[in-house]
Chains A and B, each alone.
Chain A
Amino acid sequence: MAQVTLSRITKRYPGSDTPAVDDVSMTIPKGSFTTLLGPSGCGKSSTLRIVAGLSKPDFGTLQMDGRDITHLSAAKRNIGMVFQSLALFPHMTVAQNVAFGLEMRGMGRSEREAKVARALDIVELGHLAARHPHQLSGGQQQRVALARALVVEPSILILDEPFSALDRKLRETMQIELYRITRELGITAMFVTHDQEEALTLSDSIVVMNQGRIEQQGTPREIYGAPRTRFTAEFMGLSNFLPARCSSGALSFEGLTTARPETLEAEGDCTVALRPEGLSLSSTRPEGAALKGHLAEAIYQGASTAYTLDLPSGRRITARTPDCGLQPGQEAWVSWTPGALHAFAA
């Protein structure tokens, strides 16, 4: 296991005006599971390919345990990589696929076979060692790809949206499996996904990327609980953005003044976001901070109902709460739990 440090990594593809990776610096601590999260085209896969050595940065350096590996061939970086397409060798059996990396390292047959057997046991595929990839289900193929990457005892495990082709149920099973395996083996891992739930489930640390740059980096709790930019907030499922002003002790928006959240770093103009799941509605004025509005829509969605409220300013907010019996056309007060209000620089 190793610590990997990216310093000012920049990559521009020919024919493109904007860099795919723009001055990215981060550290992936030893034994940590770090996820690059962002929409497609945000630079997360390009960053990952640079760490893997499949692509060379135009600028910046890459270090592994303090050693400069910027110009080291991918073959010599001792990485294990799981590809989006899995990239299992179709002409080899499961065991041959898993043994490939060991063979390339010149390991003898008996040692190789023992390691392959152990790796297949970890992913619970020992009984399918003689099969070819096309004879396996999607989830089994996934495990083979993971075993092939793990068996070489990589300094870092790199995973490029490995679960994107799986259906929801299987994806969740594989996420739990990956979580278990990486924590049990204490693996340093770099994971790429555009799925925020997947990132929250798996990661010790999340790096949100947008347009080639790091938008925010932190633990899942920090990223979800205290997004620092509107982009991160939106990506983590926040909505109900309202313009606000903040001063030294207070935050005011929609004619309301409340205490300023501790995480807010801005001065002056800023934005407030209210998490729809953290809002509640009532027909009478509740205690504490609340906004009054006109209920425009109530859409029943089973576990919750989505209420749309028109505020006096003309802006709309959505609350997702258990059915509270209010009907469209009524006046309603909306209040929030402390964690549902986020504020960040505009």
Chain B
Amino acid sequence: MSPYFTLFRRAGTAALFAFLLAPLVAVIIVSVNAGATPKFPPEGFSLRWYGAALANPAFTGSALTSLVLAALATAIGTPLGVAAAFGIARGKMPSGLRGLLEATFLSPLIVPGIVIGVALLVTLSTAGLRDAWLRLTLGHVLLVVPYVIRTSLAALQSFDPSLEEAAHTLGASRAKILTRVTLPVLKPAIFAGAAFGFIISFDDAAVSIFLIDSSTSTLPLAIMSYMQYNFDPSIAAISSMLIAITLAGALFIERVFGLKKFLGN
């Protein structure tokens, strides 16, 4: 390959990274702005907006809601997703039905969040479920499940069935095979799916906006509503903290499972 082409390719890669990451970097720079408005370049360095963001009960309360909600949805959605993946991968059924089930269970990944939100609002209201926590939990379980199914299914499909047969011939019961061999082997995949699901739930605005009520709000929605009336760098500060949390989650997935394995399937 000619050196010019290599140079061109590297420049292109650099430009793409800059395009993807520059806004995030800008948010972080703005968040340490000493001035009263989110300006670029910043007017001096200060962490005062971090203090302001953390002192704002609208943010802290909704952040707690988002954390508890994401944890709850992940705790409920993960076993459901794993069970569904087992059903899809191993259930005795014609291959057409298997494909249909897989597509159906994974559809929340493709259907726009706003559509899911409206659909849930209509359905849950018709069913008489008006409690915001209940509605949010149900909605977020729906967000988490397909991520867990996706990683678990990929791992199950590449699972060597002779591992289970080996355990069986060594005297293990079905329950022991599941708890001592199958689930431990699938564990990294399950964890990766759960971690993804947690992040998706924590970041979600499109579905949640249809399910909250006046006293219960999630962090992304609190940020949106704050921005309608205020325009100060505390938004940038809270966003920077979200970036940090998301990055930590992504690093966690990379460490236990490998992002490529998840995204590449």
List the interface of chain A (C-beta within 8 A of B): 52-54, 73-81, 83-85, 87, 89-91, 100-101, 104-105, 148, 152, 158
Contact = CB atoms under 8 A, between A and B. Distances in A.
B171 A89 contact: no
Interface in B169-184: 169-173, 176, 180-181, 184
Contact of A52 (B169, B172, B184): B169
A75 B181 contact: no
Contact of A85 (B162, B168, B169, B176): B162
Contacts of B172: 75, 100, 104
Contacts of A104: 167, 170-172, 176
Contacts of A148: 166, 170
B232 to A, nearest CB: 50
A91 B183 CA distance: 10
Q: Mostly helix, strand, loop or mixed at chain B's interface?
A: helix
Nearest to B168: A74
A52 to B, nearest CB: 6
| Interface residue tally on B, bucketed by range | 10 to 19
B162 A53 contact: no
28 contacts: A73-B168, A74-B165, A74-B168, A75-B168, A75-B173, A76-B171, A77-B169, A78-B171, A80-B170, A81-B165, A83-B165, A85-B160, A85-B162, A87-B166, A89-B163, A89-B167, A91-B185, A91-B187, A100-B172, A101-B170, A104-B167, A104-B171, A104-B172, A104-B176, A148-B166, A152-B170, A152-B171, A158-B169
Given A54-B165, A104-B176, A87 B160 contact: yes
B169 A89 contact: no
B185 A89 contact: yes
Contacts of B180: 100
A40 to B, nearest CB: 17
A78 B168 CA distance: 10
Nearest to B166: A87
Given A87-B162, A87-B163, A81 B185 contact: no
A37 B253 CA distance: 47
Given A84-B162, A87-B160, A91-B185, A53 B169 contact: yes
A147 to B, nearest CB: 12
B187 to A, nearest CB: 7
Nearest to B165: A54
Ranked 9 nearest A-B pairs via Cβ: A101-B170, A104-B171, A87-B166, A87-B162, A81-B169, A83-B162, A91-B184, A75-B171, A104-B172
Contacts of B173: 75
